Structure 1
Amino acid sequence: MAAGSSPVLRSDCTAGGELGGGRGAAGAALTGLSLSCRAQEPLPEPRARSWVSGGARRARGAELRALVESMRDLHKSSVLGSKHGSLMSWRPQYRSSKFRNVYGKVASREHCFDGIPITKNVHDNHFCAVNARFLAIVTESAGGGSFLVIPLEQTGRIEPNYPKVCGHQGNVLDIKWNPFIENIIASCSEDTSVRIWEIPEGGLKRNMTEAVLELYGHSRRVGLVEWHPTTNNILFSAGYDYKVLIWNLDIGEPVKMIDCHTDVILCMSFNTDGSLLATSCKDKKLRVVEPRSGRVLQEASCKNHRVNRVVFLGSTKRLLTTGVSRWNTRQIALWDQEDLSMPLIEEEIDGLSGLLFPFYDADTHMLYLAGKGDGNIRYYEIGSEKPYLSYLMEFRSPAPQKGLGVMPKHGLDVSACEVFRFYKLVTLKGLIEPISMIVPRRSETYQEDIYPMTPGTEPALTPDEWLSGVNRDPILMSLKEGYKKTSKIVFKAPVREKRGVVVNGIDLLENVPPRTENELLRMFFRQQDEIRRLKDELSQKDIRIRQLQLELKNLRNSPKNN
């Protein structure tokens, strides 16, 4: 620098220009800090310095100092505003949650189930059910429906000739484990039947074709089965005849029927004590039903939100539905179960076309959304006040999922702080992947704050008590000592006499009703052919009768008889 020359302040105000371009309070504050630190730095003297008057330099310096002071004031106001929740705050506002850092952990390949011919049926179900002992998966098969039942410890590659449950004459559409008896599973099929199976203690050693109980009551295929959450041996089934049948398995007969629906029932969900049943239907209506009387308590016509799935959110008296908006985007909606006139909130998720499966954990108040056909699982925390839904994080995977099974709470690994576990069906690979949702904790002790008392494996009611109108919350259990099977409930199939109806030497109970619409059409045409044949045979017999009558008349009028 030349002797006697004063330092020239940096007068580049591009940061201020960016501020005017819309960076907001955050940009202004950060720019003010950087500019205030750099404002007094001398610049090296340029080679060819143009002459500037002293008055101009002083004016430019005053303007720059005023700009720096204004930026400092703006920075102070933004920091102060952040403390008081001002809209000018540049600091992000976070909601405190112990589940904010929950992450998904995929099991290693040797702990997955490989080589499984997962069904290619397009029915919108999970095709998978899991409990603390067994994993059941609906498989692709010819000549009837079947599903695998695999002990959880038997991971790795499953042999192609592994024993199956294969008693249905049509495709299996849904399977559910009994929540109180771990080796009892219910299945429903296109053959219009619901069947109850008893799995041996060590798993299947050979194909199982005989069910302990066969339930016939629907006139068309059965798409859904659900066990009552607090009562033993009460099973609900929904068919394509638009009816929901309530079965008492102690007697093996339907005891109630809900016939308020006008189209195919897509989903069923119970509240905590099983006193209410929520259903979504293809007629674009959401219903809350009193199951014993079949009375509709609340009904919503979802014009802007086409409902596919519904789930009760524990004891919060709220419902969550997933569906499609009028713009064909995937959407969720939150409802008050006592007033379905308008949803509390509606939120669009994305523009994908696959079905959204909702899963709710009442112990942690976490909601999981898994898309059919994609590999992502989003999770939220449900609150009692607005905005009700707080987004936490998203588990991403490149492998698309066909369905998901969910492990009951008593089957989780509490030592690893596992709060949820999915069993993901990857059809393209023939693979079942366990995905554990884990709360990161440093301590290895039991975390009571994330494992409250949870519904156990003991029923709170008998079928007769529930049918008489009694409601009772589920019996709770602690997971602190780990899961120990204490229930000694044994399923006893009712002994029923075979009430056969014999027509033309054919036992009608031995002839299975049509399982699909194509089979119904084939049976219809066969019956038409049979009717045509019988009509021809009858007309021939009429002709023969008239001939015999004429012969008899001729004999009577003959001279010999006179």
Structure 2
Amino acid sequence: MSFVRVSKYRHVFGQTAKNDQCYDDVRVSRVTWDSHFCAVNPKFVAMIIEASGGGAFLVLPLHKTGRIDPSHPTVCGHKGPVLDIAWCPHNDNIIASGSDDCSVKIWEIPENGLHSPLEEPLLELEYHSKKVGIISWHPVASNILLSAGCDNIIVIWNLDTSEPQIELDMHPDLIYNVGWNFNGSLICTACKDKTVRVIDPRENKIVAEKEKAHEGVRPMRAIFLKDDKVLTTGFSRMSERHVALWDKENMEEPLVTLELDVASGVLLPFYDPDSNLIYLYGKGDTVLRYYEYTNEDPYVHYISTFSSGSTQRGMGCMPRRGLNVTKCEIARFYKLSERKCEPVVMTVPRKSDLFQEDLYPDTVGPDPALDAAEWFEGKNADPIFISLKPESAPTKNQEVKGLKKTILANRVTKKSEHSSTAKKNVSADSSGPSEAKLDKILKEIKSLTDLVSSQEKRISQLEEKVAEITK
């Protein structure tokens, strides 16, 4: 007797958007670096592109589909190729980039997208001595950014002060990736020494580690799931691609290992904590596999594979709050191929047009639960959740209120303070000799008025002479 596991995600299917909803003529970067090359949020899609004489990435409003003009303005302030980009989870207009030029830059994208090249960053962060290939925002606290470079160092920045607050120097070799856990209290890393580490960054200590998590020499990846289990992807000695699940309390043996196929592309994971779905893709592949995670054996359940005709060069994943809930859309990916970016929509087939509460539990919203200082002091908090019901969508006022703890808000505050100080200085300076200045201005106005009236007289006289001659 065969047993079919009950799951509302068993029939999830993927579909590529129609041609008029894709972004065409995009020169996707050819840099050999295993980051996603694409980042997306409810307002914009950003893609790392080919650029001569430096590094650049393209930022487009989501609705700006179709053929992209080769001269479309880019974010182009880096001196070397851009290797990783990430949108701030607490402000949809702020994006961070890491580059081959060893720097990290924070950019502010105008509300309606770029109308001219953006070369001046909001902040420029310099600390790494080699190229910076990993960028990751803190999921819960505002104005905290993590960067990792080929100098094998992880830096956690306090953007309120623009200072590197924490340096983690515990990796003897190249760091492949870094992932935060759900509340941002821990990070997990995959390293070229084949070790997966779980680190408490504020204590600067390794909480758990597993040497030779995958036997193969090719790169690994490690991410946290919602319950602090660690999912890794890697290779066997025979170059077979593997997925493993680990309990950080006991990392002697994996809870489960899945053997997939033999291919050269590193498996890059996305994880959705709301649905507990795990999505895996490899650069150079044409498929996106997806699995459901449960907290009992066998833990990771294969659901299906989405296939497309073109090989993928990278991929971005839309946050839950940017999905179309009226169409039962549970995930949306932006797949980069040679010259194109195609949205891929994952849908649960349902006949009802009503809001599906079981598919859309409250999800992580854009408001930070902590500020940077609170997190660095040792506080933890779960993310602030919002409802995805269409009638409970945030109003503009609520959205603006949610920006109060972001870089942009801080910068606006500083600007207004600066301008008010300048105004005070001007008023203080002008209060003494104000009457003399006023007299001088009045005299200048009178002399200008006299000049204008005399010129008018002269013009009228000339017009009369011209009229006489023409007669």
TM-score interval (norm. to shorter): 0.7 to 0.9
Aligned pair in 2 of structure 1 residues 95, 305: CA closer, same or farther (>3 Å)?
farther
Deviation at 1:367, TM superposition (A): 1.1
- Aligned residue identity for 2:347: I
Say whether 1:287 aligns with 2:197.
yes
State the partner residue of 2:225. Answer: 313
In the alignment, is the contact (CA less than 8 A) between 2:194 and 2:214 conserved in 1? no
Contact 1:411–1:483 under 8 Å retained in 2:
no
Tell me, in whole angstroms, the C-alpha distance in 1 between the residues paired with 2:79 and 2:197: 32
Rounded to whole Å, the distance in 2 between the matches of 1:201 and 1:227 is: 21
Rounded Cα–Cα distance in structure 2 between residues aligned with 1:259 and 1:297 = 15
* Structure 1 position 275 matched with structure 2 position 185: yes
**Identical columns (%):** 47
Query: What's the CA shift for 1:397?
Result: 1.2
Instruction: Mark the runs of 5 or more structure 2 residues left unpaired by the alignment.
Output: 415-471
Q: Are 2:355 and 1:446 aligned?
A: yes
Corresponding position of 2:105: 195
1:389 deviation in Å?
1.3
Residue number among 246, 253, 256 corresponding to 1:335 in the alignment: 246
- Following superposition, the deviation at residue 303 of structure 1 comes to 5.7
Measured against aligned partners, the alpha-carbon deviations of 1:38-72 in whole angstroms (never above 9, x if no partner) come to: xxxxxxxxxxxxxxxxxxxxxxxxxxxxxxxxxxx
Give yes or no for contact 1:195–1:214 (8 Å, CA) kept in 2: yes
Counterpart Cα distance in 2 of 1:263 and 1:98? 42
**Residue pair 1:277, 1:288 contacting (<8 A) in 2 also:** yes
CA contact (8 A) 1:374 1:398 kept: no
1:460 is paired with a residue of what secondary structure?
coil
Partner letter of residue 360 of structure 1?
A: Y
> Residue 483 and residue 377 in structure 1: after superposition, are their counterparts in 2 closer, same or farther (change >3 A)?
farther
For the residues of structure 1 that align with 2:310 and 2:78, how far apart are their CA atoms? Answer: 31
Residue 379 (structure 1) shift: 1.0
Measure the CA separation in 2 of the matches of 1:286 and 1:303: 6
Q: TM-score, normalised by structure 2?
A: 0.84
Q: Does 1:390 align with 2:311?
A: no
What is the rounded CA distance, in whole Å, between the counterparts of 1:474 and 1:183 in structure 2?
20
Say which structure is richer in strand.
Answer: 2
Asked if residue 247 in structure 1 is aligned to residue 157 in structure 2, the reply is yes
Match of 2:345 in 1: 436
Q: Which amino acid aligns with 1:348?
A: E
1:476 aligns with 2:388: no
Q: Distance in 1 between matches of 2:166 and 2:279?
A: 33
SS of corresponding position for 2:326: helix
2:277 to 366, 375, 381: 366
* 2:220 match: secondary structure: strand
User: Under a length normalisation based on structure 1, what TM-score does the superposition of the two structures give?
Assistant: 0.70
* 1:134 counterpart letter in structure 2: F
Aligned residues: 403
> Is residue 214–residue 234 contact of structure 2 (8 Å, CA) maintained in 1?
no
Is the aligned partner of 1:323 residue 2:234? Answer: yes
SS in 2 for 1:487: helix
> Hey, what's the Cα distance between the residues in 2 that align with 1:404 and 1:416?
22
CA deviation profile, 1:353-389 (whole Å, cap 9, x unmatched) = 1111111111111111112211111111111111111
Q: Distance in 2 between matches of 1:169 and 1:219?
A: 15
CA contact (8 A) 1:235 1:249 kept: yes
Query: For residues 451 and 144 of structure 1, what CA distance do their matches in structure 2 show?
Result: 42
Alignment of 1:63-462 (within 5 A): 82=1, 92-302=2-212, 304-306=214-216, 308-314=220-226, 316-427=227-338, 430-462=339-371
**Runs of 4+ deviating beyond 4 Å:** none
CA 1:304–1:228 in structure 2 vs 1: closer, same or farther (change >3 Å)?
closer
SS in 2 for 1:101: coil
By how many angstroms is 1:305 displaced? 3.7
CA displacement 1:240-276 (0-9 Å, x = unmatched): 1110011111111101111111111111111110001
Name the SS for the 1:167 alignment partner. Answer: strand
Question: How much does 1:137 deviate?
Answer: 0.5
- Code of the residue aligned with 2:106 in structure 1: it is I
Deviations 1:142-173 (A, max 9, x none): 11000111000110000010001100001100
Q: Name the aligned partner's letter for residue 163 of structure 1.
A: P
In 1, the alpha carbon distance for the partners of 2:36 and 2:295 equals 30
Measure how far apart 1:317 and its partner are.
Answer: 2.5
Amino acid at match of 2:259: E
Letter in 2 for 1:345: V
Q: For the residues of structure 1 that align with 2:86 and 2:399, how far apart are their CA atoms?
A: 19
> Does 2:403 correspond to 1:487?
no
Shift of 1:398: 2.1
**Contact 2:172–2:193 (CA under 8 A) maintained in structure 1:** yes
Over aligned residues, Cα RMSD in angstroms?
A: 1.5
- Cα deviation for residue 487 of structure 1 reads 3.0
Aligned-partner Cα distance in 1 for 2:344–2:105: 30
Tell me if the contact between 1:102 and 1:440 (Cα under 8 Å) persists in the aligned partners. yes
RCO higher in structure (CA 8 A, sep ≥6): 2
After TM superposition, the structure 1 stretch with the greater mean CA deviation from structure 2, 482-491 or 338-347, is 482-491
Answer yes or no: is the 8 Å Cα contact 1:410–1:483 preserved in 2.
no
Choose 1 or 2 for highest CA Rg: 1
Structure 1 CA distance, aligned partners of 2:26 and 2:283?
A: 19
Which amino acid in the other structure matches residue 487 of structure 1?
E
* Residue 303 to residue 460, structure 1, CA distance change in 2 (3 Å): closer
Q: Is this contact kept in 1: 2:98–2:104, CA < 8 A?
A: yes
Contact 1:379/1:391 (<8 A) preserved = yes
